[in-house]
Structure 1
């Protein structure tokens, strides 16, 4: 039995056999993190509080103060919605390849195995 669960892949994918592809293992956890971070609060009708609400930072300046608020939003959302991970830290800094974005790097451990993982996401912002 897989300790991380199994669900439809995100984004949805079709395999060579024409069937929907499933996501499982560590990939399922990474996809879940991406879903949480890409979902705006209020976007899901039956679960209005779900998501990190990172879209609220779209026109904020790309400054350390904004980065601290983004990190707090990410930490709060992941602690609430993804019980399969233990956060080690969230670092948000200007995206070196895009002056209008910040790069959030999330370090976490898989609760079931203790294995350390890391993922990054670019967050669109205003100029700063």
Structure 2
């Protein structure tokens, strides 16, 4: 049943126990796709120059509420544009309690194919508070 979500090389790329490239499928593939979208900068993909969220531009921004609101907006727009297998429920960005120079994005979504609710968290490097 996981084939309804797709299948692709795992992210990050790695070699499996059988010595071949590892593949991901199902819900794992969607979580990895979200990470790829958020970690890709505009212009990195030759054939898709607009692909990605471009979160690198926030690297030296202050880790405060204003930056968190802007990050949430960029994340929502990128995921709505580039990941059609999910229906975005919420994106909440706040400071990382373990790292003053990072924020955490909590992303809640529903799988379009099954309606199942899922969530993932992504660390985003920033400047200090």
Pair in the same fold by TM > 0.5: yes
Is 2:128 the counterpart of 1:108? no
Aligned length: 128
Q: Give the SS at the match of 1:27.
A: helix
The answer for the alignment partner of 1:82 in structure 2 is 83
Cα distance in 1 for residues equivalent to 2:42 and 2:33: 15
- Following TM superposition, where does structure 1 have runs of at least 4 consecutive aligned residues deviating by more than 3 angstroms? none
The answer for the alignment partner of 1:28 in structure 2 is 29
| Alpha-carbon displacement from aligned partner over 1:61-83 (angstroms, at most 9, x marks no partner) | 11111000000000000000000
The answer for the alignment partner of 1:121 in structure 2 is 122
| Alpha-carbon displacement from aligned partner over 1:7-54 (angstroms, at most 9, x marks no partner) | 111111212221111110000000000000000111111111000000
Post-superposition offset of 1:57: 0.4
The answer for the alignment partner of 2:9 in structure 1 is 8
Post-superposition offset of 1:86: 0.3
